[in-house]
Structure 1
């Protein structure tokens, strides 16, 4: 077997599976839409660098990721926060208190911008589903036990 043939196979792009797309409506906040646009722009730059450098594996990855984010951009349904948050809904920040006294705040957002460690949860997450529709002073059976809704406010443009 020729060494050139082996090298050619080593340089072949990875056979990457497509990124799974959620079956749920792609609701986004204004911040979420900006994050999608930023991701697309970063991927376009990375793809240009990979093309310039002849990096076939990076080209395959960026092309796959660009397809995902372009689909998410096309399907994005921007949702404005409510003027006054009267019940937990998409684009609201809810402060809860757990049975052990801990207080936590979550912004209910789209799937792609959700980051529980940073206080954002997807509207389809178990926690968000338990809280949706609840008002200040009401209780919800959430993952980890019962919680009380302490405060509601619309999500600002920064998330």
Structure 2
């Protein structure tokens, strides 16, 4: 089965590369030290420190493999390719919630970069899907658990 294409901004690519580097250079060494320390206790058959360190090692290696797979399948969105006419991955979109009159700015990113706390929403999320391909002035309806939210697109930026 082919791996899924991972859409990333330049910033997102850099962040994943830095995380991978940290895991390979720092975290691996820390876990190896924990294993070495746990082995110093002797019998590993009932050594909880050893078991914990081996589990952590497996998690780190799994995360490294996942990041390497994501980076291999990464499609980086070039800032120059982002249109100001329609919403796409990489766009910053200012919308107005028509019910509450709130203005919100989202950055549309691939699912690997999504971070709601930084207003980075996935192109695969309900709001992201509704905004993709739309223009300034258009109103989109987004089905959410509480009902339907209506957003008017006010601005599209890079």
| TM-score, structure 1 as length reference | 0.78
Give the corresponding residue for 1:67: 65
- Residue 42 (1) aligns with residue 40 (2): no
CA contact (8 A) 2:82 2:88 kept: no
- Residue 121 (1) aligns with residue 121 (2): yes
SS at structure 1 position matched to 2:89: coil
The 2-side partners of 1:57 and 1:146 are apart by 46
Matches within 5 A, 1:95-114: 95-99=94-98, 100-114=100-114
CA contact (8 A) 1:35 1:113 kept: no
Give the corresponding residue for 1:152: 156
- Structure 1 unmatched runs, 5+: 1-22, 155-159
Give the corresponding residue for 1:6: none
Q: Deviations over 1:14-60 (max 9, x none)?
A: xxxxxxxxx75211100110111011012111112101221212211
Give the corresponding residue for 2:88: 89
